[in-house]
Structure 1
Amino acid sequence: MNIVVPVKMVPDLVEELEVDATGRALDRSFLKLRINEFDEHALEEALLLKAKHGGTVTVLALDTGEVDETLFTCLAKGADRAIKITGQFQDGVSSHAAAAVLARVLGSIPHDLILTGVQAADDRDGQVGILLASTLDLPHVSVVSGVEPAAAGKAVTARQEYAGGIMAELEVDLPAVLGIQAAREAPRYAPVSKVRQVMKTQKLEEVAAPAVEVGAGSTVSRLAKPETGGRAEILEGSPEEVADRLVAILAERGFAKR
């Protein structure tokens, strides 16, 4: 089975996020990027399938910045190929454009199964997998938490999570696109030493992004930080000083008398 996993770089949510001067995008001046968490689960599910049933795993990524180390990490985890799609992506790319580019690139890559993350942490729209399946005219199932080859042959059984923890099993004809919410096992860790070794012994493949026509989609009209509903005040000093200050604050708010 030839499995392809598109991965996306997203802002590291540990970092402080700032809106840029346009008010429609994040300030990328000091933004640190990392692989999308759901894409990590898609890769893990692909590697589990490969380990149990054989086949190949190919990872694709648009070169939106800081992508090389992520692709080498995917190779260190067990992927067979890592392809960087080069183009003008540093300022971001819409879901429609990303799906269109991926669909064109996939035309030259053998694929029986395409596993995407169910959504990305930076836009939460979950459209790329659906648009990719539509463009390639393939079946699509989302919110998947496990994949196994079906007994019927050229098909897979996808486990899909419903509300209330109810699980369904769907038989999906191949080739297909599945949106992975969680792999059957936690994404594996690749030691830094192994990633560095892979950087010395393997090379990333590069493909120039083809020109694509993108139909109507959605655009961000405004980004804003959430309004502050309150604030915390740290009381410092000796226990007596803190107690006096606490009583004063409670008295100011009408909860105590001095």
Structure 2
Amino acid sequence: MRIVVAMKAVPDLVEEIELTPDGTDIDREFLKFVLNEWDDQALEEALLVKDETGAEVLAVGLAEDPDIDQALYTAIAKGADGAVKLEGGGQDTHSRAAAFAAYLAEEPADVVITGVQAPDDLDGQLAPMLAARLRQRHVSVVAEVRVHDGELVVRQEFSGGRSHELRLPTPAVIGLQASREAPRYAPITRIRQAMQAGGVREVSVAAQPTGSGLSVRRMYPPQASGHAEMLSGETEDVAAKIIELLRERGIVKA
């Protein structure tokens, strides 16, 4: 069984994010990019299937994503059998689906697993769009993928903590919500070994960016609605100020 994990690099939300001068996008020049956390879950689930069945796992990303090489080499360090960097994709979800579909048309997979969403897109529909382009079965919001008698057995989650189990033949596209186990850790030494081995293959795809039909007119930074007041001084004075504040807000009556 051949499993392809479609991955995306996204801005690290720990970093302070600034907008471009026209206010229509985030300024990416000095941002650090990391693997989308849902794609990290997808990679882990694929590796769990590999551990159980001996399947081949291939990580695939787009060259247009900043720092995607780091994510691909990390995937190899975690246990992926190889990685591919696609040239010729686009940034929006529709164009990404077109690029992945063009590659998979030439190098088919039994299963494609990708994160169910990403924090920086507007629709989070990569899995169903990719399945539609490939004319394959699709299940999203999945929390478990197993293989039984040559078929996939997946657990799909619903609101309220409910879930159900589906059986479907391959090929299929899975949008993963969460893996069965936390994503495994890859030591930096192993990542460097993967880099030295050069396990990332570059492939050009003939996929025209389709566009999503959506345009961002304006983005706004979060507006601060209040601020914290830092109390300083002797312990007795600070305690008295705290009691006074509690009385002002009606929390303490006496």
Please give the TM-score of this superposition, normalised by the length of structure 2: 0.90
Deviations 1:208-247 (A, max 9, x none): 2424151653232222122222111111222244356557
1:202 offset after TM fit, Å?
3.1
Give the corresponding residue for 2:176: 180
d(CA) in 1 for partners of 2:198, 2:212: 39
Alignment of 1:38-117 (within 5 A): 38-63=38-63, 64-87=65-88, 93-117=91-115
1:130 offset after TM fit, Å?
1.1
1:66 offset after TM fit, Å?
0.9
d(CA) in 2 for partners of 1:207, 1:2: 18
Identify if the C-alpha distance between structure 1 residues 243 and 184 changes in structure 2 by more than 3 Å, giving closer, same or farther.
closer
Give the corresponding residue for 1:242: 238
1:33 offset after TM fit, Å?
0.5
What is the root-mean-square deviation in Å for CA atoms of aligned residues? 2.3
Give the corresponding residue for 1:16: 16
The unaligned stretches of length 5 or more in structure 2 are none
Kept in 2: contact 1:5–1:57 (CA 8 A)? yes
Kept in 2: contact 1:96–1:217 (CA 8 A)? no
Match of 2:126 among 119, 128, 131: 128
Deviations 1:106-157 (A, max 9, x none): 1121300000101012226221111111111111110101111233x3x311
Identify if the C-alpha distance between structure 1 residues 144 and 50 changes in structure 2 by more than 3 Å, giving closer, same or farther.
same
d(CA) in 2 for partners of 1:23, 1:49: 43
Letter in structure 2 aligned against 1:222: R
Give the corresponding residue for 1:168: 164
Give the corresponding residue for 2:117: 119
Kept in 1: contact 2:5–2:43 (CA 8 A)? yes
Identify if the C-alpha distance between structure 1 residues 66 and 50 changes in structure 2 by more than 3 Å, giving closer, same or farther.
same
d(CA) in 2 for partners of 1:140, 1:72: 28
Letter in structure 2 aligned against 1:36: N
Identify if the C-alpha distance between structure 1 residues 158 and 250 changes in structure 2 by more than 3 Å, giving closer, same or farther.
closer
Letter in structure 2 aligned against 1:177: V
Kept in 1: contact 2:156–2:163 (CA 8 A)? yes
1:253 offset after TM fit, Å?
7.8
Letter in structure 2 aligned against 1:50: K
d(CA) in 1 for partners of 2:3, 2:19: 37
- SS, match of residue 25 in structure 1: coil
1:167 offset after TM fit, Å?
1.9
For this pair of structures, how many residues does the alignment match?
252
Greater CA drift, 51-60 or 234-243: 234-243
Alignment of 1:204-219 (within 5 A): 204-212=200-208, 214=210, 216-219=212-215
1:169 offset after TM fit, Å?
0.3
Identify if the C-alpha distance between structure 1 residues 216 and 10 changes in structure 2 by more than 3 Å, giving closer, same or farther.
closer
d(CA) in 2 for partners of 1:250, 1:49: 55
- SS, match of residue 140 in structure 1: strand
- SS, match of residue 168 in structure 1: strand
d(CA) in 2 for partners of 1:206, 1:180: 25
